[in-house]
Structure 1
Amino acid sequence: MTKKLHILFLCSWFPSKEFPTNGDFIEKHAKAVSLKHSVSVLHIVTSKKITKTIIDKNVDDNLTTYVGYVKQTKNPILKAIRFYKTYIQLLKLIGDFDLIHLNILYPFGLFALHQQFTKRKPFLISEHWTGYLNSRKNNISFSQKKLSKLITKKASFVCPVSNELQNGMQHLGLKGTYFPVGNVVDTNLFFPSDKKNKTFTIIHVSGLNDAQKNSTDMLKVAKLLENEIANFCWKFIGGTSENYKNLITDLNFKTAKIEFINHVSQKELATHLQEANLCVSFSNYETFGIVMPEAIACGTFLISTNTGILNELKPQDFFSIIPVKDKNALTTEIVKQYKNPTKLNTEKMHLFVQNRFSQEIIADAFSKLYFKTLNKNS
């Protein structure tokens, strides 16, 4: 079916002036879907900088983004009223649409239920939140769990970004018709390059949330590596060293160059990944882990804990999986790649990602689900 639809992307998370990187993977989904359909994004966020509601509209071909900024308040009832009023205001600007693509089921799933009840608009869900993983489920309040059950039950499809996330959601009793759809990798941007840094370079990319990404132990591994590798650089991209200054002082690096680079553009990130010898993900938990396939698409060997999407891919010769929190295993794998690096077929690596997570693949998967949703609700 080739009919062009108008999809409302209803987003609990989305990049904004307040949080430029929040839900950037959702923005990538929206851009992918806009290759086939017209997409309107609806997102609302609070701001300390304003005294009245402000609406930002941005048009990029078939993708139109509406972000509502509402005055911040500590009163939850007043906040809910402001969000609802802004939601109604944005809907008037967006006009009619065919169906809702809900991103992060709570709390904006309440708006999806409202549209289903008042306008009979069907919806499907994309879910990314780590809170639904089995290892994280104790963080969910009773009310959020009850509402999440209702939202998933009413959805036409539930599309977690990985099977592991699906298992966690189902284990919590979130019943629905599940169809996992992964995150998008821009394979036109993330591709192999022959250029590598002269110094052996390890790269890690994240916001450096220690509870999830285990940055502390990666720094400790970097210290251990000084005994094995004479000269190397470990780049931490996406966060600052602020929370790790005391640890770095205590570790007293002699030969290792530890470099912290704050947020960079996607184009800059691709260059960093292309030029690195290794990419490391040492997370304690992940729902997907977008940097992992991005690194592979760039032709860079990847070492990861057994979290995220790698667990669901067939073993390959361009990545290795180690246990969570195992510093010795990480040290051993890095030294192995330094002393005897794997001969990589970078073209094969790029194709591996392109066939699974490119914009076209993800857009096609969602498009099929949209038409199935409309057929189910016709």
Structure 2
Amino acid sequence: MRNKLNVLFICGWYPSRVLTNNGDFIQRHAEAVSLKQNVSVLHIITDKNCTKNIEFTSKKTNGIQTHIAYVKKTNSRVVKLIQFCRAYLILLKKVKPFDVVHLHELYPFGLFALHLKWLQKKPFLISEHWSGYLTPKLKNRTFFQKIILNLITKNASFICPVTQNLADSMQHFGLKGNYIPVPNVVDTKLFLPKKKEENEFTIIHISNMVPLKNVPQMLQVAKKLEIEIGAFTWKFIGEKIDGFSSLIKDLQFKTANIHFINHIAHKELVKEIQNANVLVLFSDYESLPCVILEAFSCGIPVISTDVGGIKEYFPHNFGFLIETGNKKELLEKIKQTQQQKLATSKEMHAYAKSNFSKEAIATIFSDLYNKALKIKY
């Protein structure tokens, strides 16, 4: 048996003391890869509470050796760049010898991947999750940034966006390279189907509740649903009710139970999904939301706007894809979910396990690492 490879994750996003859930989908990628390889993480983030210019932590989290640098906040871009580079070089000395780099977030952390390729001859892969590359919301970049982005992608062994749609958008943006989409990870041993109790019809929405998620529009649909079917429960998980209490008061719900639940741990989230009848996303744009894959793993159908690469991993009988902003269609599909026979929970879970489990993703990335290193089986 070949020895395990040593893989260095360089991450622009990753859970830390500043943002405890930022980039948790990258953490799940790291945990998946660690089933077959040795993984270390290098992450740098600005911390307004830093008393020193740079503070360092190194600890093992969920089996991953994690090295994080916290940089003191500054309004100077030049100072910030210098501090980030200093932090990177110091963290690099803390990392055990590695064979291959796995980059998460193309810019600016891709500069560190280039440094390692050019000076240490370490090949690198890129995983990209950022919906900002999607054509409808394509962000403006300076001419200099576009040159750097192209330099990074051209030097990568593989570029692995989470969907083909994101890959197409990145190439449309002019980023050339060897694209192989690899989806997000689901802990299919945690997100399991569960027999439901005979409670009232329950809808669930999980997000950070930013404007593009269209929570007010979903609340308006909830009011119309109440008028048509009477009692049901709709849980909004990820934010407190504060920003929506005025609208809820105006809508005057009588029989519908509308609950807002602040962010909860993964184990608690599993219970909420398992006890729901349907997950609803009504976003203006997305890449590949982990919550959809987690719902499938729990055997729960999904209603989502047909945006980003969602349809690439959405079997026809697992729920419904609807037009962006179409509240009437959302209402009809919620009612249809109550009536139409969809795939069984067992079928949904089996699909999730085959495509998004830690084992499945670890196998894909391990194969790409070997190809990048030109290791033959």
What interval of TM-score do these two structures reach, taking the shorter chain for normalisation? over 0.9
In the alignment, is residue 184 of structure 1 matched against residue 185 of structure 2? yes
Contact 1:161 1:288 in 2 (8 A): yes
SS at match of 1:258: strand
- Please, which moves more after superposition, 164-173 or 87-96? 87-96
Deviations 1:192-228 (A, max 9, x none): 00034612110000101112x1112111111111111
Matched with 1:361 is 360
Q: Please report how far the alpha carbon of residue 125 of structure 1 lies from its aligned counterpart in structure 2 after TM superposition.
A: 0.1
Equivalents in 2 of 1:135, 1:197: separation in Å? 42
Matched with 2:349 is 350
Contact 1:196 1:274 in 2 (8 A): no
Gap runs ≥5 in structure 2 = none
- Please, which moves more after superposition, 219-228 or 236-245? 236-245
- Aligned residue pairs: how many? 375
Matched with 1:22 is 22
Equivalents in 1 of 2:334, 2:128: separation in Å? 33
What percent identity do the matched residue pairs reach? 48
Matched with 2:259 is 259
Deviations 1:97-156 (A, max 9, x none): 101100011110011111112212111100001111011114444443332111111111
Matched with 2:156 is 155
Matched with 1:248 is 248
Q: Please give the TM-score of this superposition, normalised by the length of structure 2.
A: 0.95
Aligned-partner residue type, residue 176 of structure 1: G
Matched with 2:43 is 43
Matched with 2:196 is 195
Matched with 2:56 is 55
Matched with 1:126 is 127
Q: 1:146 to 1:252 in 2, by over 3 A?
A: farther
Equivalents in 1 of 2:66, 2:334: separation in Å? 42
Contact 1:238 1:262 in 2 (8 A): yes
Contact 2:319 2:342 in 1 (8 A): no
In the alignment, is residue 375 of structure 1 matched against residue 374 of structure 2? yes
Moved over 4 A (4+): none
SS at match of 1:100: strand
Q: Please report how far the alpha carbon of residue 254 of structure 1 lies from its aligned counterpart in structure 2 after TM superposition.
A: 2.1
Deviations 1:57-91 (A, max 9, x none): 12147520111111111111111111111111110
Equivalents in 2 of 1:366, 1:284: separation in Å? 30
Gap runs ≥5 in structure 1 = none
- Please, which moves more after superposition, 201-210 or 310-319? 310-319
SS at match of 1:228: helix
Q: Please report how far the alpha carbon of residue 246 of structure 1 lies from its aligned counterpart in structure 2 after TM superposition.
A: 2.6
Deviations 1:150-195 (A, max 9, x none): 1111111000000110010010010000000000000000010003
- Please, which moves more after superposition, 145-154 or 366-375? 145-154
Contact 2:318 2:343 in 1 (8 A): yes
SS at match of 2:228: coil
Matched with 2:336 is 336
Q: Please report how far the alpha carbon of residue 344 of structure 1 lies from its aligned counterpart in structure 2 after TM superposition.
A: 4.3
RMSD of equivalent CA atoms: 1.7
SS at match of 1:226: helix
Mapping for residues 77-88 of structure 1, pairs under 5 Å: 77-88=78-89
SS at match of 2:296: helix
Aligned-partner residue type, residue 352 of structure 1: Y
Q: 1:292 to 1:309 in 2, by over 3 A?
A: farther
Contact 1:289 1:308 in 2 (8 A): no
